[in-house]
Each structure stands twice: as C-alpha cells, then as structure tokens.
Structure 1
Amino acid sequence: MPFADTSLRDEYAAAVERVAGRVLDALPGGGGPAAPARPDDGPPPPAVRAPDESPLSRAELAAVRVLGPDAFAPALLDGRAPDPTTALTAAQALDAFPAATTDPARPETALVAAWRDRSTAQLLARAGRPTVAPSAEHVPAPVPGPEQLGWPRWSVVMAQLSALALPGLDGAVHELARRHDLALARGAVRSMIRRDHRTAARLARWLARTAADGVPPRLELAPVIDRIRLAGDGSARTALDLAIAERLWKERPLSEGPMRGGPAGRGLPGEVLPGESLSGEGLPGGAAGPYGAPG
C-alpha cells in the first residue's frame, strides 16, 4: 500500500540520518559546527554499533549500506585502517542488502552502485573481511567523462560517487576527477546557483580531494562550505560531506600566488574559453535541467 511504502521510506531515511550523525560525531576532531555534541568531551564513539553488542535494525543496516565507504570515514581521515566494528557491520549490511539487479535503462545508476560497492569491498578486505560479491578485485566499467555525458550530467554522476572522495581510496574514478576538475567546479557553481546544496556539498568533496592530491584548486572552497552550512538542508548527510570536504581542503598542499589560471583575487579558472563561464550559463547543455540531488 502507498501509506506503508511511505512509512518504510521515512523509517529508512531517518535511519540514514542517525547513522550519518554517528559517523559525523566520530570524525577526528569532531564534525565541525554541525556535529552532534559529544558528552563530556570524551573519546569519539564508534561510527556504528557492533551488531553483537546491540543488534542493528534492518533500517540501520540499510543506512550503513547507503553510506557505503563513508561509514569508514573516521578511520580513513585519521590515517588508520578500517576498524573491525564498522567492517563487521558493513559486511552484514552487504549480506542483508545485496546489489540490485542492473536496470539496462539506467546504466549510470548501475555504474555508481558498482563503484561504491567495490570501494566498500576494498575497505572490508583491508579489515580482514573479504567479500565475494561485491569483490574488491572486480573493476567495474569505466565511468564516462564529461565529454560523453556533458559536464552538467557528469557532475551529478560524480556527486553520487562522492563517497569515494576519501583518503585511502584511489583509482580510475579519482583519476577522472583530477583530470576534469574544471567540470567539477562548474558543477559545484551550478548547484549553488540552483540551490541544490546537497549536490554542491558532494562536489566540494571531490574538489577538496583533487586539491589534497596536488591539483591546483579551481575554487576557493572555504566560502562554499560556509555558505552550504548556512543555507543548506541541515541534514546529517550534508554535514558529513562538508566535514570531510573541509578536512581534505585543509590538508591540501599550499602554494604561493593566485588560484590556477585565474585573475588575482577572482579565483576564476583560466581554461574557460571565450563565451563560457564557470557556471555554464549560456553554454549548450548548461541550462537548468531536471537533475535532482543524488540520493
């Protein structure tokens, strides 16, 4: 029944928020202004409860499945190996919610799921819990670039893959982001203009990750992060994206002089062609389209 379906969706959405809040609270140094209060300033709690200590509900397991590699963010940002508690829970979430059957009509959705699952499997393998499906050894098909999809659509796909923008993970998707950081910057600006702050936060993660990898930044991300905190949806998931982006941005190699290719004080990318703009307004494919915030 529709009412039952709505109730179940609400329950799962609430569980995602709860688990994202726990991950946020467990980040090294806390999760920034949006992090839940930590009682008595004690040690960070585990990102997820150990199933053998307090069994997780099916909704909470689904939430861990949705977060994917982000469940391991506290350890990865702290330079540690994936912790056994999170690995156990993530493995149980994969068992409870195996990969959905591929929909030929939505190849990009299947690609996003395949790459996220592979990254989760890689982290589980490092924690001593290798999985068969998904396998850490299986390399999914390449993600198309902006030249195939157009940068507005491609930037939405990359936003859906933002859980891969973590230290300790690297591969073809990360190389794609480093190669097309201008398209990521355009996507972030476009999302801000459209007030799609969730997508903007996820693209900010990729821009922070490429900067941490040594790619000269296209945007000054600190004001972008601050703006999303003020005007965003206030959800724990967006707060988690912002906290990760902020941590990666602070760890970028610092260089002298203005931002790459941009006039001093403006920070605009120098590889924008005549008649183009960073936001893409006026470009073919740059008009606002039906691209919703990724789930």
Structure 2
Amino acid sequence: MEQSGTSTLLQGAVQGLASSVVSALRGGDHARAAAPGPVDVEEGGLALAAVRVLGADALLPAVLLGTPPDPDELAVFRKSAESFPPRPDAAPTVLWSHWAMGRTLRVLDPPSAAAPTDGTEPGGEWLDGASWQVLTHQLAVLAPLALPGEDCAVSRLAQGRPVDVARGFVRAVRRRDWRQAAGAGRWLTLLHGVPETLGLASGLDFVELMGGHDPLVALQVTAARRLRTGAPV
C-alpha cells in the first residue's frame, strides 16, 4: 500500500513538473519549472525523482528558448542526475536518458563541475534493424533527444527512417496511445523525408485534442510545435 501511494505521489509530481515546462514553452512563468514544490537538494526527495523521470525535458525551456536556467532549477536537475545513476544492467533507454541529462548540464552550465556523465554516448546497436513499431516506441521514450542540431546515434538512426516513424505515429494515433504519438510527432518535426500525406500539423492538433489533458502529452506536442515553427506556441 505504501509503495502504491508513493507511486501515485510521484506520478502527480511528474505531471506537475510537465505542466510547468509546458507553461514555460508557451511563454508563461517558468520559475521553478524544474522543481515542483520545495526541494532540499541535500536531502533529495520526490521532486528529484520527478525530475529524473522527465529527464532532460525538465530544462527544455532553457534549451529551446535560450534563457539561462534558474540556479535553483539547475541545482535540482544536477542533484537528480547524480542521485539516480543507471544500474549496470539498465535498459538502453535509461542509459540514453541519463546521457541526455548530462549533455544538458554541459550545455547549460559549462563552467561548473563535470556533469554526471563523461559525454560518452551509450551504444545504439539495440535499434539496428528494429521494426518500425519498436523503433517508434523507443524514440517516443527518448523524445528529449529530439532537439535541433542534436547529433547522436539515436537521432542519426531516426533521420534514416522517417517513413517508419511516420507509420509508427499513425499506428499510435489509431491505438489511442497519445503519449507515444506525441513523442513520435516531436521527432517527425525534425526528420527530413516525412511524407507530406501524413499531415503532421493536423495530426498533432488531433493528438492534443484527444490526449492534451495529460501534461506529458501536452509537453511533447508543445515542444513539437516550437521545433516546427521556432515561434511561441
């Protein structure tokens, strides 16, 4: 029962954090976007776990808007990355998520101490030859890597399979998997060779209409629109 209650609290903290990021991307107040509620970076706690779940997207407004992150946000973000290192047997998506957090720290806070990762990319072999269904699922999980100018093994693989990602987007919409559809849609805004018949803009509108009550869906759709236009959403 206690574990279930903790899980519910964490889900609420993640959704609250995602809502803060969405507000910032839409031009709202982004203060404390990386720290939902009071946080003692020495003690850790629920907010640190929420930041780790959201990963690099916790500081997405600073990355996309080019605004310096609040020092407190940066401290919480760093503490979260340091507090939840991946286990040796961690899944590839966990390794890449942790890598993305380290990369974000190196970009936003280069004068500071070394980031929690040394910058070495995890392997990308697990996606070699993946079916379009598996590829789309994995890319949606790693949506925080979908950034302008990002050059890593995952983004390069995605660039080579735009039609497969488009197929995955359509499948996710048909299955009403709005989180996967939103994550795939974010990737599609950056890929070359996406079929025009996909109607991505309309597709994102539909995903937002049907799943936008979920802050995690709203975050990816909002990020996709900003990536697509470079303008406020």
TM range (shorter): 0.7 to 0.9
Other-structure match for 1:48: 34
Give how far 1:121 is off: 0.6
Report the Cα distance in structure 1 between the residues aligned to 2:164 and 2:95, rounded to whole angstroms: 23
Output the CA distance in 2 between the equivalents of 1:88 and 1:132.
12
> Which residue number in structure 2 is paired with residue 274 of structure 1?
none
Structure 1, unaligned runs of 5 or more: 31-37, 104-109, 253-295
Higher-Rg structure is 1
Q: TM-score scaled to structure 1, two decimals? A: 0.69
Alignment partner, residue 134 of structure 1:
117
Task: Please provide the CA RMSD for this pair.
Answer: 2.5
Match of residue 73, structure 1, among 57, 60, 77: 60
- Which residue of 51, 56, 61 corresponds with 2:48? 61
1:24-81 deviations in whole A, cap 9, x for unaligned?
1111x43xxxxxxx5xxxx542422499x85366111101111111012101111346
Distance 1:80 1:173, change over 3 A: farther
Matches for 1:76-87 after TM superposition, within 5 Å: 76-80=63-67, 84-87=71-74
Q: How does 1:79-158 map to 2 (within 5 A)?
A: 79-80=66-67, 84-102=71-89, 110-126=91-107, 127-128=109-110, 129-131=112-114, 133-136=116-119, 138-145=120-127, 148-158=129-139
Which one of 201, 204, 212 corresponds to residue 222 of structure 1? 201
Alignment equivalent of 2:10, drawn from 9, 12, 33: 12
Gaps of at least 5 residues in structure 2 are none
Alpha-carbon distance in structure 1 between the residues aligned to 2:207 and 2:180: 10
Contact 1:184 1:203 in 2 (8 A): yes
Distance 1:50 1:188, change over 3 A: closer
Go from structure 1 to structure 2 and tell me whether the alpha carbon gap of 1:251 and 1:125 turns closer, same or farther (over 3 Å shift).
Answer: closer
| Structure 2 residue identity aligned to 1:9 | S
Tell me the amino acid that sits aligned with residue 80 of structure 2.
A
* Alignment partners' CA distance in 2, 1:240 and 1:132: 25
Counterpart for residue 209 of structure 1 = 190
The answer to which structure has the higher helix fraction is: 2
Corresponding residue SS for 1:148: coil
CA 1:221–1:55: 2 relative to 1, 3 Å: same
What is the letter of the counterpart of residue 217 of structure 2? T
Distance 1:49 1:193, change over 3 A: closer
Distance change (3 Å), C-alpha of 1:236 and 1:50: closer
Alignment of 1:198 onto 2:179: yes
Q: 1:89 to 1:143 in 2, by over 3 A?
A: farther
Change (3 A) 1:46 1:184: same
Letter in 1 for 2:122: P
